[in-house]
Structure 1
Amino acid sequence: MAAEQLGASVVAAFPEDAEGRFLLGMARAEAGRVSVGLADIAQAVEIDPRGDYRAQLARLQVMLRQDGAAAQTLAAAERAPPDDALGRDTMGCVYARLGEHAASVPHFREAVRLAPGNASFRYNLAAALNFIGDIDGAEAAAEALLAVDPDYARGHHLLASLRKQTAASNHVKRLEAALERADGGDARLLIGYALAKELDDLGEQQAAFARLAATNAEHRARLPYTFARDAANFDAIERVWPRVAAATVNRAAQDSPIFVIGMPRTGTTLVDRILSSHPAVWSAGELQAMPLAVKMASGTRSRTVLDVDTIEAGATADLGAIGRDYLARARTHAGARQGRFTDKFPGNFQYAGFIARALPQARIVCLRRHPLDTVLANFRNLFAISSRYYDYSYDLMDIARYYVRFDRLMAFWREALPGRILELGYEDLVANQEGETRALLAHCDLPWDEACLDFHRNTAPVSTPSAAQVRRPMYKDAVARWKAHRDVLAPVIAYFEAEGIAI
């Protein structure tokens, strides 16, 4: 408040002072008034188009989901980039948010050069190098980061994920020491996951699972999550479908994006890489464009993107407008790219009805994986910690309950949308790569192309936890992993049997 008052007094006295206007905008944005702050910073840019002003303007534009405007602001900033480390790091972060990971790297490198002691800047560089497939570079950057700050938990977590660790080369001892020093909260969560992953790489499956279970239980105890929240959303999606199905679609867009949906960690990134290896297709990554288009059309003011009120209100919204809004948001990730694109946000399975009606030419592919491998994979993967969408993933029974409702919803869509969704089995794809790939391309109305079999040669960035896996040829290591943990999965098995889930 004091900073905002000071900034306002400077602007009142010197209305043409760009720095005063910029500082006022930053203070307002930090106080939660992002739209007002953005307007102030935009005025500062008009007075003095400095690179650091433009970097912060782009950051606020992305925060307000104005991705197209942010891309334009970045393009202008490139003509005179910021000369400070924070400004360069900010530009890199905005590029990353827009899915332009290759463009982010030079800015992160410059931020590290200007402020070599800043661990956060070093982490951003390491993560960006991983996304673009420079694993050696990412590993070197992560090690340099940990040399600066040995307890930087995100650095430990990233480094563990870059390769499959071996007896000759691993970080287990260092991770154990870092976990002992961790002061609780997210640090213990991140380092605990990293340690569990490396133990599993070394073949110590039981020790790995024990560490993972303890880490998840510790974090789950801090969450206010109850499955009832997710159950209410599933109920609402099924309840409003008759209204969505009967609605008139005005000026429906005829574009044909390809949606890759399903439970997380079931092969969605693999299928996205197969599809984007086709010369007629590019990957837009995991977009929030459909959830945001439905949220915008619903007009609800709740803080969550998906909730019962939003689902109910969205059912009476203009479906044609939702489709057009979706495409406008998605196209901001295209740059100069033309042609069809994939959107591989797995959670779009909850929006399949909206997708089918709002985008009648869209293709939808849902990945299915063995129920117990799905539960185990969700339990083993650390998703976005700050996202409430993944709160179910820290407890085996929460995941099991979530899976049952997912399975029920897919059965619902199978009946409601006959022929619109290809349900592709992960195990089937691994066992019969070419046959299932041909079926996949046929469903997406794409001609056969041999490049789709060499998906691991795809050089496009990958920003999901499967980055390392999809840079390998097809492998069978992940099939039937649950069998090694049959005992701890016994309650899940019993629950699935009671719910009619075949295992």
Structure 2
Amino acid sequence: MSAEKITQLHRAAQQYLNQAASNKNALKQSHQACVEMLKLDPKHADAHFLLSMIALNMQQMTKAIELNKVAIQFAPQNAEYWAFYARSLSLVNRYEEARTAIEKGMKLGSNSPLVNDTMGVVLSRLGEHARAVELFNKAIGKQASNPSFCYNLASSLKFLGDFKQAQQAYEKVIALNPKYYQAHSALAELNLSTKTNNKISRLLTLLESVGKHVDGELHLCHALAKEYECVGEYEKALQALERGNSKKKAQLAYTSKDDDALFSVLKTTFSQEFIDKKHLGFKTTQPIFVLGMPRSGTTLVDRILSSHSDVVSAGELQNFAVELKKLTQTPGNKVLDPNTITAAKSIDFRALGERYLQSTKPVSDQAIHFIDKMPLNFLQIGFIKKALPNAKIIILNRHPMDVCLSNFRTLFAINFSYYNYAYNLLDCARYFHQFKMLMDFWQSSYPNELLEVKYEALVANPEEQIKRILAYCELPWQAECLAFHNNPAPVSTASSVQVRQPINSSSIGRWQRYGNALEEMQNYLQKHDLCE
């Protein structure tokens, strides 16, 4: 009787979990079934696993990881458990553990399309897109009608630079589900449209039926803007962007004052007394931080430096901010907020440096130097100097009109609050103003220790500027750095298409194509002496 009851409860728990997207009570019902199962059989591995999936759905990451670990203890040969364990670990930036877990899952192997897709997602998060493609293809081979599998495949193909295959995969997603909105914006980012072959009509038709799906409209409007730009219709491109971005901003209820407090407390915290105070940091020359406003050329410098034989790219890591947050033990979901900044004054900065290096080991362990190119690390420069005094820090700067427009026309991680400013042109200008004042503050606080690279100078005189960058990083000249576009390594940022091309000036002065439409933003920047 007990075995039969467990089977019934197990089936019910699975069914309720599968209904979570459409039934608001489903997770609670699934949880109740799992609890009843464990009363009858405390060692029921799948009950623990299903509980971990419920926790994952509720964004209770620590709980999800611990429950998944218990499931593995009772069934260590289950590849599905290892796959989702690795996925949960990767979502909280525990990459070294995630890599160990996914290798175990890969070794066990699975015929389940969902498990193979999940393992592919983890590998893609670890930057191993070639291996991820193999798993996505394996998943699609079993379940060709799943648009999510096709989308994941397309993304990794794009990051690998295989734009033709990526285009085909995105089109397959759209054929399977035209309302898979992010596929439209991702496809448009490939910049493969022409005046005679574009997706404008298809996107306009979809916009008519998007309804109140704010994120869907955002994706479609960004896709439409890219298509209009490809045919030279810049006024229509800006109108599309303003339509999608304004609705997203309204949903977020964001104001620039939300960011002002963050910038202000950083400058208050780093008083001259605190800057001069001796802290025992972790003295390593391994990390090179490439940072600046998003869309200012950080990916370009990352590609140039990582073309050097002594340097590898670790991508855009959140590790430094995450480890800082852990040491401060401040409440809240934001990794960097005023309370965390204030609390960080009293942490052990050597421990911060050591923990950061340990967290990057999956990519940095065998590297002479590695690049952390998270642009928003510009907020962390003072803490980086305390924790890693010998680290190199390269700040990218770009014409404010170009960088503000580029932020406005780029879809960053939706609902990642640090990019909330990007949904309004004037907010972009205000954010740039705060950025510039903070950079002036850091450079005056750490004179001759930070390297500023101007994007326009790098484009105009690449060899001269690359030699300057390498000299600052204490690296010998290598011609491969000048031919960075031949670097076969994956690129998983918004610049994944551009950096596959030789250095060029096509994006310099882009803002001038929009005529008077950017006048309000320009007036603000001119008023604050940020541009002519």
* Residue in structure 2 matched with residue 47 of structure 1 by the alignment: 74
Which residue identity does 2:413 align to in structure 1?
Answer: A
CA distance 1:119–1:248, shift in 2 (3 Å) = same
In the alignment, the residues of structure 2 paired with residue 244 and residue 56 of structure 1 have an alpha-carbon distance, to the nearest angstrom, of 43
**Contact 1:55–1:82 (CA under 8 A) maintained in structure 2:** no
Q: Is the 8 A contact 2:147 2:172 kept in 1?
A: no
Partner AA of 1:368 in structure 2: N
Q: Name the SS of the counterpart of 1:71 in structure 2.
A: helix
SS in 1 for 2:452: strand
* Root-mean-square deviation over aligned CA pairs: 1.6
1:17 is displaced (CA, Å) by 2.6
Superposed, 1:71-110 pairs within 5 Å as 71-110=99-138
For residue 14 of structure 1, the aligned residue among 37, 41, 53 is: 41
Structure 1, 200-209 or 449-458: larger mean CA deviation: 200-209
SS in 1 for 2:270: helix
Which of 266, 270, 281 is residue 311 of structure 2 equivalent to? 281
Where do 5+ consecutive residues of structure 1 fail to align?
none
SS of residue paired to 1:333: helix
User: What SS does the corresponding residue of 1:139 show, helix, strand or coil?
Assistant: helix
In the alignment, structure 1 residue 236 sits paired with structure 2 residue 265: yes
Q: Given the alignment, which residue of 56, 62, 67 partners 1:35?
A: 62
- Per the alignment, residue 317 of structure 1 pairs with 347
Residue 438 of structure 1 is aligned with which of 443, 446, 467? 467
The 2-side partners of 1:127 and 1:69 are apart by: 24
Matched with 1:123 is: 151
Q: Is the 8 A contact 2:281 2:387 kept in 1?
A: no
The DSSP-based 3-state class of the residue aligned with 2:396 is strand
Mean alpha-carbon deviation: is it higher for 312-321 or for 274-283?
A: 312-321
Partner residue in 2 for 1:168: 196
Aligned counterpart in structure 2 of residue 68 of structure 1, from 96, 100, 118: 96
Cα distance in 1 for partners of 2:60, 2:173 equals 34
Q: Is the 8 A contact 1:282 1:342 kept in 2?
A: yes
Contact 2:68/2:81 (<8 A) preserved = yes
Whether 1:299 and 2:326 are equivalent positions in the alignment is: no
User: In the alignment, which of 469, 473, 476 is matched to residue 505 of structure 2?
Assistant: 476
Identity %: 38
Deviation at 1:32, TM superposition (A): 4.4
Cα separation, 1, equivalents of 2:252 and 2:280:
42
- 1:381 is aligned, of 410, 417, 435, to 410
TM-score by length of 2: 0.91
> Superposed, which structure 2 residues align to 1:122-271 within 5 Å?
122-183=150-211, 184-242=213-271, 244-250=274-280, 252-271=282-301
Cα 1:162–1:9, aligned 2, differ >3 Å: closer, same or farther? Answer: same
In structure 2, give the amino acid aligned to 1:397.
Answer: L
C-alpha offsets along residues 24-74 of structure 1, whole Å, 9 cap, x if unaligned?
Answer: 332344344432332222122122221111111112222333221111000
CA deviation string 1:335-378 (max 9, x = no partner): x7422111111001110111122111111111111111111111
Partner of 1:502: 531
Alignment partner of 2:441 out of 398, 412, 437: 412
Aligned partners of 1:464 and 1:285: how far apart in 2?
A: 8
Q: Assess if the C-alpha contact under 8 Å between 1:164 and 1:198 holds in 2.
A: no
State whether residues 191 and 226 of structure 2, in contact with CA within 8 Å, keep that contact through their aligned partners in structure 1.
Answer: no
Distance in 1 (CA, whole Å) between partners of 2:80 and 2:155 is 23
Of the structure 1 ranges 99-108 and 409-418, higher mean CA displacement relative to structure 2 is found in 99-108
Give the deviation of 1:9 after TM superposition: 2.2
User: Shift in Å at residue 502 of structure 1?
Assistant: 3.1
Question: C-alpha distance in 2, partners of 1:425/1:251?
Answer: 29
Q: Which runs of 5+ in 2 are unaligned?
A: 1-27
The question of whether the paired residues in 1 share the 8 Å contact of 2:106 and 2:119 is answered with no
The answer as to whether partners of 2:121 and 2:132 remain within 8 angstroms in 1 is yes
Shift of 1:247: 4.2
Decide which moves more: 14-23 or 45-54: 14-23
Looking at structure 2, the residues matched to 233 and 340 of structure 1 have their Cα atoms a distance apart, in angstroms, of 30
Structure 1: distance between partners of 2:197 and 2:204 = 15
- Maintained 8 Å contact 1:252/1:360: yes
